[in-house]
Amino acid sequence: MSATLFQQLLHAAFRQDAPALLPSTDLQAYQELQRAPAREQGFHFERVRLLVAMSLMKALADLGDHDESRQVQQVLHRALTARSIEQIDAIITKDAQHFERLYTDLYVNDEGEQLLHLFERTLDADTMPAMDAVIQEASDLVDALDFDAPHEDDEE
């Protein structure tokens, strides 16, 4: 899997917000994973997973103006500041209620359902081939989304 596809996913999902939300170290997370010594690969894999999950939540939030997905995105963003897998887990665990509320009273269209399905697969991915498959599908989906289309709430 190309690190370029990972970067394309981040840029497509975050669009104009990418420079403000994603420092260059985040954009290089996939390359860092590829170069990491074996003892550090788990941590770098988690960073890639966090960034893919953030991309999917950003796309969902922008697609449907969904506050719960923005809150999950913020938790994931905070987790990116962690220096270890244990710190990542602690941050996620502390704010687990946001993940639980993500699916409460949620109306989504087909694209939203696909984003949520890919989000779940991102959280379940435990190997590079599994993560690469999610990155490929997420990149294709986010590229195809029309973020400028009117939302049902906008039409009222």
pLDDT, tens digit, 9 for 90 and up, residues 115-127: 999 999 999 999 9
Could you report the per-residue pLDDT of 41-71, keeping only the tens digit for each?
A: 999 999 999 999 999 999 998 887 778 889 9
The whole-angstrom separation of Cα 36 and Cα 46 is 12
Checking if the pLDDT of 16 tops 90, the result is no
pTM for the predicted model, two decimal places: 0.89
Provide the CB-side half-sphere exposure for 112 (13 A, CA).
Answer: 15
DSSP, res 129: H
The whole-angstrom separation of Cα 43 and Cα 58 is 22
Closest CA to 79 of 95, 57, 100: 95
Checking if the pLDDT of 154 tops 60, the result is no
DSSP, res 15: G
